[in-house]
Amino acid sequence: MQQVSSPSVESYVQHKRSMSEASNFKVGLFAIGLDAYWDQFPALRERLEGYITVVEEQLTAIHSQVVNLGLVDNIEGAFAAGRQFRQEDVDIIFLYVTTYALSATVLPVVQRAKVPVIILNLAPEAAIDYAAFNALTDRTKMTGEWLAYCSACPVPEIANVFRRTGIQFHQVTGMLHDDPESWQEIQEWVEAARVANTMSYNRLGVMGHYYGGMLDIYSDFTQQIAHFGGHIEILEVDELSALRQTVPEDAAEERVRLFHELFDVQADCSQEELLKAARTSVALDLLAQRYQLGSLAYYYKGSGVPENEATMSSIILGTSLLTANGIPVAGEYEIKNAQAMKIMDCFGVGGSFTEYYAVDFKADVVLMGHDGPGHIAIAQGKTKVRPLVVYHGKVGSGLSVEMAVQHGPVTLLSVVDGFDGKLRLLVAEGESVPGPILEIGNTNSRYQFPIGARKFINDWNSYGPAHHCAVGVGHISSKIHKLGALLKLEVIQVC
């Protein structure tokens, strides 16, 4: 799995980030055969069980928790396997087709388990050795040899029965050995299932209220839970302000030292503002721990109550640290984008809050960024901290972060809600490229797209996303397509 890291934030992330999110994620594995064959072809079963061991070892290298039920070859075994998968609470099942098997020995397993199924149609070798095969003089041995290679035979039967019974399934067709393409695909299915599992348990905090008038970002909480699972915790800004007042002076000073270690703090940042941001950062950590948050969306106008205004105007450094620590934070109460950021973070590629800033038609690039938190673990170089006299469109002033996303391949993701009540995933792949950015104390990057800036903007906008999206490093659209398939969400890719 691709992981992002930055030397300047690595120690902080390793110390702070909890790995409990995916600790309950389990992969199920079973293989199928036909019990009538074992007496007819004495060595066949042992041979096929050796293939199963190979698959288990490969899967375990991808994810440690694999529930392997071995070879299922009759109806009784199928019902027992279905019960065991339910008891083990597996999230995804890999069905390894070793040879011909009856669909009746498959259906009870997956009907009971009720999780997505990936059919592994993996031949033991690239081809049968025809000369050696045809040189066998014993027709029974020839048939047994052929059966060791006929994994493709029952797949249409299984697919037919799955389709007719409404079972969700996907396929990987290839070879057991020396086939990196197939095993890359299998790894992506595991990663997508792990992300789906994390989202199903994720606790998304929402603090404050919407930015008034941004109709595109308004979300239905129940709709989000219906599609992704998880829990939405409604938080009060007052609670964060109260926690902030309890932060000891020495804890605030220690957090300022951490700021200097992780950020490129500019010389015009005052110690007073750094201490304000430090208190809020420590308080944010306490709030996240109290509610076991896995992500956060926030906005609060903050005027009229000095304590709350001080909290919200000093929140950016703390939310940037949370974002780097696996708790992505979206500003402007953008819940859909907090979900998109969490998905990107779960895939290990970052997930920074962004929107259109401008278009450079000379260079054919789109400038994108946002005020507020940035994902400092995917920054190009060290993230700068700058003082701002005014937060444009918002109350207050204070410290802000300025960063560009690492140069190289990137993926953009938006969670889109439609008039039909369904969510969709909108994705695009491009490149973060070097060049001048707007040095205004915000996140800001230059992105090139293979279809050009004009067509990208027109195509992206045509699907009606909110004006925010999440950006991560690397090209991971194939993984997002698999996640969408597991969650039964349409995935639209513009480039």
The pLDDT of residue 391 is 59
Distance CA 104, CA 107 (A): 6
Q: What is the mean pLDDT of residues 67-93?
A: 97
The pLDDT of residue 372 is 76
Residue 6 in domain: no
Q: Which residue has the higher pLDDT, 355 or 171?
A: 171
Whether residues 111 and 215 share a domain: the answer is: no
Whether residues 343 and 381 share a domain: the answer is: yes
Q: pLDDT tens digit string along 423-468?
A: 999 999 999 999 988 877 778 899 999 999 999 999 999 999 999 9
Residue 22: pLDDT above 70? Answer: no
Domain boundary among 134, 168, 198: 198
Q: What is the mean pLDDT of residues 154-172?
A: 96
Other C-beta atoms closer than 10 Å to the C-beta of 250 total: 8
- The tally of domains found in the chain comes to 2
Q: 385 lies in which domain range? A: 202-493
Whether residues 460 and 477 share a domain: the answer is: yes
pLDDT band at 472 (very low <50, low <70, confident <90, very high): very high
Whether residues 229 and 102 share a domain: the answer is: no
Q: Kindly state the tokens that stand for 485.
A: 């398939």
- Predicted TM-score (pTM) of this structure: 0.93
Distance CA 117, CA 92 (A): 6
At 194, which amino acid appears? R
Which of 247-261, 336-350, 369-383 comes out lowest in average pLDDT? 369-383
Q: pLDDT tens digit string along 81-131?
A: 999 999 999 999 999 999 999 999 999 999 999 999 999 999 999 999 999
Q: What is the mean pLDDT of residues 62-72?
A: 97
Residue 8: pLDDT above 50? Answer: no
Domain boundary among 198, 215, 234: 198
Residue 4 in domain: no
At 266, which amino acid appears? Q
Q: What is the mean pLDDT of residues 294-298?
A: 96
Residue 49: pLDDT above 90? Answer: yes
Whether residues 192 and 218 share a domain: the answer is: no
Residue 2 in domain: no
Contacts of 396 (CB under 8 A, 6+ apart): 302, 309, 312, 313
Whether residues 179 and 156 share a domain: the answer is: yes
206 touches 232 (CB < 8 A): yes
Q: Which residue has the higher pLDDT, 317 or 301?
A: 317
Q: What is the CATH number of the domain that holds 105?
A: 3.40.50.10940
Q: What is the mean pLDDT of residues 227-240?
A: 96
Q: Kindly state the tokens that stand for 191.
A: 């990663």
The pLDDT of residue 59 is 97
147 touches 43 (CB < 8 A): no
Residue 9 in domain: no
Residue 10 in domain: no
Whether residues 252 and 167 share a domain: the answer is: no
Whether residues 283 and 138 share a domain: the answer is: no
Whether residues 207 and 193 share a domain: the answer is: no
Which of 222-231, 253-262, 306-315, 324-333 comes out lowest in average pLDDT? 306-315
Neighbour-count burial for 177-202, b at 16+ CB within 10 Å, e otherwise: eebeebbebbbbbbbbbbbbbbbbbb
H-helix or E-strand containing 71? strand 66-72
Q: What is the CATH number of the domain that holds 415?
A: 3.20.14
Residue 16: pLDDT above 70? Answer: no
Whether residues 290 and 329 share a domain: the answer is: yes
Q: Name the DSSP letter for residue 172.
A: E
The pLDDT of residue 2 is 41
Residue 248: pLDDT above 50? Answer: yes
The pLDDT of residue 364 is 97
Residue 318: pLDDT above 70? Answer: yes
Which of 173-187, 269-283, 299-313 comes out lowest in average pLDDT? 299-313
Whether residues 219 and 303 share a domain: the answer is: yes
Q: Kindly state the tokens that stand for 371.
A: 């005020």
Domain boundary among 183, 198, 213: 198
The pLDDT of residue 397 is 66
Residue 4: pLDDT above 70? Answer: no
The pLDDT of residue 3 is 43
Average pLDDT across the chain, whole number: 91
Residue 12: pLDDT above 90? Answer: no
Whether residues 65 and 161 share a domain: the answer is: yes
Rg over alpha carbons for the chain, rounded to the nearest Å, is 26
Residue 8 in domain: no
Residue 83 in domain: yes
Distance CA 243, CA 326 (A): 21
Q: What is the mean pLDDT of residues 62-80?
A: 97
Q: What is the mean pLDDT of residues 393-404?
A: 75
Which of 249-263, 298-312, 462-476 comes out lowest in average pLDDT? 298-312
H-helix or E-strand containing 45? helix 44-62
pLDDT band at 421 (very low <50, low <70, confident <90, very high): confident
Q: What is the mean pLDDT of residues 334-363?
A: 94
Residue 1 in domain: no
